[in-house]
Structure 1
Amino acid sequence: MNVVVFFTDQQRYDTVGLHGNPLGLTPNFDRLARAGTFLKNCFTCQPVCTPARASLQTGRYASQLGLDGGALPDDAETLATHFKRAGYDTAYIGKWHLGGAEPVPTVKQGDYAYWLAANTPEIGSDAYDCRLFNQQGEPVSLPGYRVDAQTDAAIRYISQKRENPYFLFLSFLEPHQQNPQDAYPAPDGYREQYASRWMPPDLAALKGSADQQMAGYCGMVKRLDEALGRLVDALKSTGQLENTVIVYASDHGCHFRTRAHEYKHTPHESSIRIPALIHGPGFMAGGEREETVSLVDLPATLLDAANLEIPQSMQGASILPALRREPNERHREAYVEYENMNGTGRAIRTPRWKYAVQTDARTLPSYACAESYREAFLYDLEADPWELENLIDLEGYRGIAGRLRQRLLCQIESVEGRAPTIAPPVSIRPSGQRVLPDALGEL
């Protein structure tokens, strides 16, 4: 069995048709998800590139990895380590952002045998100037729009004759912005197709930079979906599709500067919820899954699907038991670590509620664990799916906040080995006619 990870960067969950997007951006994603397993409630474990990618490579939370200067520790065991140990050929193509330098030193390449990647293509490459590096650190220029160039490289790799199965990680920059221009460069002619079209309700209400950038962003998502279709066609034409597990996911979402002075970094749905599917042996006809799945769960899931041992160091849990209808308590809620200019935070997302805490100031190193937090956010996702009203300081919701606080503390302790203190908001407002917590149902 082969494994291919199709990984995008900063893609909102609601860009895909199965999440209600009306623009027809993702027919290939939707088709694969319907045939395989659609992870309807999938979330990142850290809404920023480096820590999210570290968690996906290792199955561990970023706070426990000891990331130094944006780089994985040299001795970190990655997905490539485990698949290579099992006799797989391993390959990485595209954005890495875990090397701490450009080009990425061999020791920082995550144990991948084949390497055609760049640490930060959002800075050192461009939409029609795709420059990656081989394993020796030599620059390689690939022709075409960057999404197409990387897809061509991936198709060349999977088309090679080999004796061993392979694990291919195909990592795109798109639809992340090109940093020097702070722009979303879609392929020529694509941006124009989505100008002045549908806008997600949170962006319509809060504006941010979406009016200027959403059309280009949508054009990039469309081209990514076309690339997914090309890759699947290549697998089908070479007789590999039925024996290949395809995972589609993104490192985090994008709120277009509506929630902070950046594009992500917050615990809101637009920042933490991601599109995800798994297609292939063991996942066909899995249906639309309601379980809450984290990015940190995907490594264990992939090893489980390949019948490989899941190391105890992995903090995520395979979703295959849920597909087999076995008793499963691990996928009831998402736990998220985050940080932004206002502080370091932790959050929990249940089917109905979002509860988050953060430090009073950003005084800790990146990805650090705090000893104390203050309550920052509470959203009723059933009544307010776009998170336009923060309930954290309303008196009538203190009961709900207290119950969620205990669940969050349990999650923190399970990851970090200790429980911090969590203080209430600085002030509490009267609730007026608000429904009291006892009438609000299950968490």
Structure 2
Amino acid sequence: MSKNKQPNVIVFFTDQQRWDTTGVHGNPLGLTPHFDQMAKTGTHLSRSFTCQPVCGPARSSLQTGLYATETGCYVNGIPLSQDQRTLAHYFKDEGYQTGYIGKWHLASEDPVPAEERGGYDDWLGANALEMCSDAYDTVLYNNDCEEVKLPGYRVDAMTDAAIRYIDERKDNPFFLFLSFLEPHHQNHLDNYPAPDGYEERYTGQWMPPDLAALGGTSHQHLGGYFGMVKKIDEALGRLFDALKSLQLSEDTIVLFTSDHACHFKTRNSEYKRSCHESSIRVPTALTGPGFDGGGHIDELVSLVDLPPTLLDGAGIPVPEEMQGASVLPLTRGENEVWQDDVFVQISESQVGRAIRTKRYKYGVTAADGDQGDHSFAYTYKEEFLYDLHADPYELTNLIQFDSYQHVAEDMKERLLTRIRTVEGREATVEPVEKVRNRQRKVSIR
């Protein structure tokens, strides 16, 4: 990096992308060579999870470093408070130019009013990109709320806009948030429209074990979904090519991550909003100053850890109110005390909470039957327990078995502690009735 130069920062943000779409996580289809290279040469956060598996709430957390109950955006459709400080504010305070391109999902309407853009200076976005555009009909709105139609497949069109932005601002430090819709479904079609020719390439090919077992809509949609992932990765490669040609590679931090994953209607009636890995686990990697050569980080990382990580990487003090922690010390091999679980809040499909350790997953849902637009419950009931060592694709729910009761008790106490520290509330969990399964006792860890 140039002496005394603040690093540029780019967030390359996808929507609804599973972790196992990537080669470094075992996908054999060659969908993500650029992400895989990024993970191998930079810092790969191999166990990365959303803190809220639905668009708006997750996005509020990534902008603020707070859990969705603290931002107030605990379900879709709640605009981010204009009093909330976002990454744009923190970077702008340090002299950065700030730009946003793509899907926002934190405003009250489209075009997004200037006061609802989270403090970003340069704007080419849409609140609900899936509603105002289509795969080959890219419509965004500029700073003056004017409609802008961009040519090409939507991923390419937005990548073109991002490269233009980078080129125009290359002489001064910038923070760019590039937010794709892909590989999210196109709502009005309930379909995954890949570029022409891409869906056919992947239809009927390899399928993740949970989808192979449970089906859902995966046989119909997985080819298009994988085709969208392939195009996203090609866009990532184009972005790196642009940085290299502009001699910005050594001066620019790039974060790749997603808001949540996709279970293809195998866990509930739609695509996310559950505690399962297929809803919450996402691909995440960083490159650039401080992150090149950071290696494979095996610790459990939450979406709320990424905002402090970006600020720390840019040399900006991390605000005390942020609820996550920077992973930058982990890249240096420092003996940091790190969390041994991640906490997940679930909304809309249910009022739910979950805790995940390296071995177990434990999920609860509101006990009173009130599953409306509420942010929390005082009483939950047990719903899921998975042993991820024996059952990484969560095909066998162990919550009712007496041989796992001591595991469930340990996970319950972890969860209640997280609810207390994150939400500032006391809650209780009603146990399910246990049955004997004649299995030997298992260890908690």
Larger displacement relative to structure 2 (158-167 or 198-207):
158-167
Give the CA deviation at 1:100. 2.0
- 1:302 matched to 2:307? The reply is no
CA deviations on 1:417-441 (whole Å, 9 max, x unpaired) are 122011101x222122x1213xx25
Q: 2:202 aligns with which of 194, 212, 219?
A: 194
Q: Does 1:226 align with 2:234?
A: yes
Q: Given the alignment, which residue of 348, 351, 376 partners 2:355?
A: 348
Cα deviation for residue 339 of structure 1 reads: 2.1
What does 1:100-119 correspond to in 2, within 5 Å? Answer: 100-119=108-127
Partner residue in 2 for 1:238:
246
Report the equivalent of 1:27.
33
Q: Indicate how the Cα distance of structure 1 residues 367 and 116 shifts in structure 2: closer, same or farther if over 3 A, else same.
A: farther
1:241-289: CA deviations, max 9, x gaps?
Answer: 1110000000000000000001000000010000000001001111111
CA distance in 2, matches of 1:441, 1:83: 42
Matching residue within 414, 417, 440 for 1:435: 440
Amino acid at match of 1:100: S
SS of the residue corresponding to residue 163 of structure 2 reads: helix
User: Is structure 2 residue 65 aligned with structure 1 residue 59?
Assistant: yes
Structure-2 residue corresponding to 1:386: 393
Output aligned runs, 1:269-288, within 5 Å: 269-288=277-296
RMSD of aligned residue pairs (Cα, Å): 1.2
Match of 2:431 in 1: 424
Answer yes or no: is the 8 Å Cα contact 1:266–1:340 preserved in 2: no
Displacement after TM superposition at 1:320 (Å): 1.1
Q: 2:394, 2:291 → 1: CA distance?
A: 32
Change over 3 Å in CA distance of 1:163–1:24 after alignment to 2: closer
Paired AA for residue 435 in structure 2: R
Report if aligned partners of 1:70, 1:98 keep a CA contact under 8 Å in 2: yes
Cα distance, 1:31 vs structure 2: 0.5
- Taking structure 1 as reference, are residues 418 and 329 closer, same or farther at Cα in structure 2, changes over 3 Å only? farther
Amino acid at match of 1:352: R
Letter in structure 2 aligned against 1:60: L
Indicate the SS of the match to 1:180.
coil
CA contact (8 A) 1:129 1:142 kept: yes
Counterpart check, 1:289 vs 2:293: no
Give the partner amino acid of 2:112.
V
> Which is worse superposed, 172-181 or 310-319?
310-319
Q: Distance between the aligned counterparts of 2:416 and 2:264, measured in 1?
A: 30
1:305-358: CA deviation from partner (whole Å, max 9, x where unpaired): 1111111111011011222233333332111001243x2111111000001111
Contact kept? 1:243, 1:280, Cα under 8 Å? yes
- Aligned-partner residue type, residue 407 of structure 1: R
1:135 Cα deviation after fit = 1.7
For residues 44-64 of structure 1, the C-alpha deviation after alignment (integer angstroms, 9 at most, x for no partner) is: 000000000000000000011
In structure 2, the residue matched to 1:404 is: 411
Corresponding position of 2:338: 330
The answer as to whether partners of 2:140 and 2:147 remain within 8 angstroms in 1 is: yes
Q: What corresponds to 1:16 in structure 2?
A: 22
Secondary structure, counterpart of 1:419 in structure 2: coil
Residue 141 and residue 30 in structure 1: after superposition, are their counterparts in 2 closer, same or farther (change >3 A)? same
Matched, 1:72 2:80: yes
Matching of residue 43 in structure 1 with residue 49 in structure 2: yes
Q: Secondary structure at the match of 1:293?
A: strand
Question: Given that residues 12 and 270 in structure 1 are in contact (C-alpha distance below 8 angstroms), is that contact kept between their aligned partners in structure 2?
Answer: yes
1:274 corresponds to which letter in structure 2?
A: V
Taking a change above 3 Å as real, the CA distance of residues 284 and 92 of structure 1, as seen in their structure-2 partners, is: same
The amino acid that maps onto 1:403 is D
Name the SS of the counterpart of 1:208 in structure 2: coil
Contact 2:53 2:260 in 1 (8 A): yes
Question: What is the CA–CA distance in structure 2 between the aligned matches of 1:60 and 1:242, rounded to whole Å?
Answer: 30
Does structure 1 conserve the Cα–Cα contact (< 8 Å) formed by 2:406 and 2:444?
A: no
Contact kept in structure 1, 2:217 and 2:265, CA below 8 Å: yes
Q: Distance in 2 between matches of 1:203 and 1:381?
A: 16
- When structure 1 is superposed on structure 2, of 316-325 and 108-117 the one drifting more is 316-325
Give 1:345's aligned amino acid. G
Contact 1:340 1:362 (8 Å CA) reproduced? no
Measured in 2, the distance between the counterparts of 1:41 and 1:279 equals 17
Counterpart secondary structure, 2:305: helix
Give the letter aligned to residue 203 of structure 2: A
Question: Contact conserved, 1:62 with 1:367, CA < 8 A, in 2?
Answer: no
**SS at 1:408's partner residue?**
helix
Q: Give the drift of 1:360.
A: 3.0
Structure 2 Cα separation of the partners of residues 267 and 158 of structure 1: 37
> Match for 1:174 among 182, 188, 196?
182
* C-alpha separation in 1, matches of 2:302 and 2:425: 21
Letter in 1 for 2:394: E
Residue equivalent to 2:102: 94
Contact 1:63-1:367 within 8 A present in 2 as well: no
Q: Residue 365 of structure 2 aligns with which residue? A: 358
- Between the aligned residues of both structures, percent identity stands at 55
Structure 1 counterpart of 2:268: 260
Distance in 1 (CA, whole Å) between partners of 2:64 and 2:144 is: 24
TM-score (norm 2): 0.96
**Native 8 Å contact 2:78 2:106 kept in 1:** yes
Alignment partners' CA distance in 2, 1:293 and 1:135? 34
Alpha-carbon separation, structure 1, partners of 2:346 and 2:27: 27
Aligned residues: 437
Residues 202 and 387, structure 1, Cα contact 8 Å, conserved in 2? yes
Which stretches in structure 2 are left out of the alignment for 5+ residues? 1-6
Aligned equivalents of 2:236, 2:69: Cα separation in 1: 32
Residue 382 of structure 2 corresponds to 375
SS in structure 2 opposite 1:297? helix
